[in-house]
Amino acid sequence: MWFRTIFRRNRPDRPRRLWRVAGVNRPAGPLFDEAFLRRIERMSLQAQRTLRGNPASGEHPSQRRLPATIFSEHRPYSSGDDVRYVDWNAYARQNQVLVKLGEAEQDVNVHLLIDASRSMTLGSPSRLRLAQQLVGALGYLALAHSDRLHIVPFGPAALRPFGPAQGKARVIEMLRFVEAITPQPETRLGAVLERYGRLHPQGGMLVVCTDLLAPDSLEQGLRALAPPRWQTLVLHLLDRHELAPTLRGPLELEDSETGQRLLLTLDDETLRAYQRHVHSWREAVARLCARRGIGYAAVMSDWPLEQQVIPYLRARRLLS
C-alpha cells in the first residue's frame, strides 16, 4: 500500500552513497605499468639500522659487526673465528691477534598491511585502489632489493598473506595477489596489529595502509609494533569528501561496514563541528604515533602516485 512508504523499513538496499564505489567488482586496469616499475627501481626502502635482518643478503645497514674484509674496527681473536679475517699486520705491530670487523648489510622483513575493509572502497578514486598501488610499489621495491616481503590484507582479522617472498622472481605473483584483494565487511585494525606484532617477534619494516576507521583502539595495536624491532609507518589514506563533506539537509547516514544508521541534519554549524572533529581526530592519531615512535603520513586518495605520493614518501624518509 502506498502509505507503507511512511513505515518503510530502513533496509540497506541501494542507498545513496557519499563516495562512489570503485575498483571492487569491475576491473580498473593494471595498478601501474612496467615503465613506472623501472623508474622506481632505483629507489629503495629506507630501513633503520636497528631492525633485525638476515646478513646473508640484503642491502640495508645493520648494527652488527662481523668479521669482514671491509675494515671498521678490531677485536681480539677468539676461538672459532675465521682465520682469514685475522689482521696479520696488526699482529705484527701489536703482537696481538686481532680480527678485522666490518659493517654488515642485511635484508629486512618488509610487512605491508593493507586495510581491505569496505570503507576503503568508497570514494573516487577509492582508497583501496591507492592502497593497492602503494603496496604494489613498495612490495616491488622490497623484492627488488632482496628483502623478505610480507603482504597481509586484513579486515576483521588478517587474511591469507603473501610471502614471505624474496627476489624479483616473485614480483608478478605479488602484483596479482595485490590486485586480487577483495573488500571485507569490516575492520579491526587495533586487534589485527596487536596480533600481527605478537606473531612476528623478529619485527621488521611495517607499512600499514588504512583509513583508520576502525572501532577498536589503535593504540593497543601500535603498542605491539614499537621500535626498535619495528619500523612502522602508518599511511593514513584520506578522501577529500571525508574531510569536507558537501552534504546538506536532513540525512540518514549509513555506515558502509556495519550498516548502522544515524539521523542527522547537516547545516553549516554541524559541518563545521564535523570538520573540527576530523581535524582533532587526525591530530590525536598523529600524536599517538609520534608518542610510540611510529611514523604517520596522511595521503589523500586523489593524489597521483608517482607525482605526489612517491615524493611525499621520500620526504617522509620511507623511500630513499
Partner 1 sequence: MSILAPLGLLALLALPVIIVLHMLRERRRRVVVPSLLLWQQLPQQRAARRRRRPPLTLLLLLHLLAAALLGFALARPQWSLASFGAERHLALVIDTSASMAAPAPGFSGSRLDAARARARTLIGSVGARGSTTLITAGPQARLLDAAGPEGAARLAAALAGLSASGAGSDMAGALTLAETALQGRAGGQIVVLTDAALPTLAAELGGRPVVVPIAWESLGGPLDNRALLTLAARPRAGNGPVHVYARVANYGSQPLRTVVRLAGDERVLDSRAVNLQPDGEVELTWTVPRGMTLLRAELDGEDALPADDVVALSLVQNRPVRALLVAAQPTALERALRAVPGLDLELVSPADYRGSTADLTVFDGVLPPAWPAGGVLVVHPPAGSPLLSVSATPRTPAEPALSVSPAGSALFDGVSLNTVEFGAAPDLAPPERAALLLARGDQPLIASWRSETSTIAVWSFDLAQSNLTTRLAFPLLVARTVRELTPPAPPAALLAGAVVELRPDPRATTLELTAPDGAITRIAVTPGAPARFNPGQPGIYTLAERAGARLLYEGRIAVNAGAAFESDLRPQSLPGPVAPPALSGTEGAANRPLWPWLAAVALLVMLGEWFYVHGRRAPGLAEG
Contact residues for partner 1, defined by CB under 8 A = 2-3, 5-8, 10, 13-21, 118-120, 122-124, 211, 213, 215, 239, 242, 247, 249-258, 260-265, 267, 269-270, 273-274, 277-278, 281
Q: What are the residues facing 45 on neighbouring strands?
A: 319
Are the C-beta atoms of residues 232 and 194 closer than 8 Å to each other? no
Judged by CB, which is closer to partner 1: 118, or 200? 118
Instruction: Find the shortest distance in angstroms from Cβ 219 to partner 1.
Output: 15
Judged by CB, which is closer to partner 1: 105, or 239? 239
Instruction: Find the shortest distance in angstroms from Cβ 233 to partner 1.
Output: 22
Do strands 60-67 and 162-165 pair parallel, antiparallel, or not at all (unpaired)?
unpaired
All three cell numbers of 219, joined, read 593504540
Judged by CB, which is closer to partner 1: 70, or 273? 273
Instruction: Find the shortest distance in angstroms from Cβ 26 to partner 1.
Output: 13
Are the C-beta atoms of residues 112 and 141 closer than 8 Å to each other? no
Instruction: Find the shortest distance in angstroms from Cβ 226 to partner 1.
Output: 25
Judged by CB, which is closer to partner 1: 96, or 182? 182
Taking the C-alpha atoms of residue 286 and residue 79, their distance in angstroms, rounded to an integer, is 50
Judged by CB, which is closer to partner 1: 168, or 241? 241
Instruction: Find the shortest distance in angstroms from Cβ 49 to partner 1.
Output: 37
Judged by CB, which is closer to partner 1: 57, or 124? 124
Burial class (CB in 10 A: 0-12, 13-18, 19+), 196: buried
Taking the C-alpha atoms of residue 41 and residue 19, their distance in angstroms, rounded to an integer, is 34
Burial class (CB in 10 A: 0-12, 13-18, 19+), 302: middle
Instruction: Find the shortest distance in angstroms from Cβ 1 to partner 1.
Output: 9
Alpha carbon dihedral 255, 260, 262, 266, in 10-degree steps, equals 10
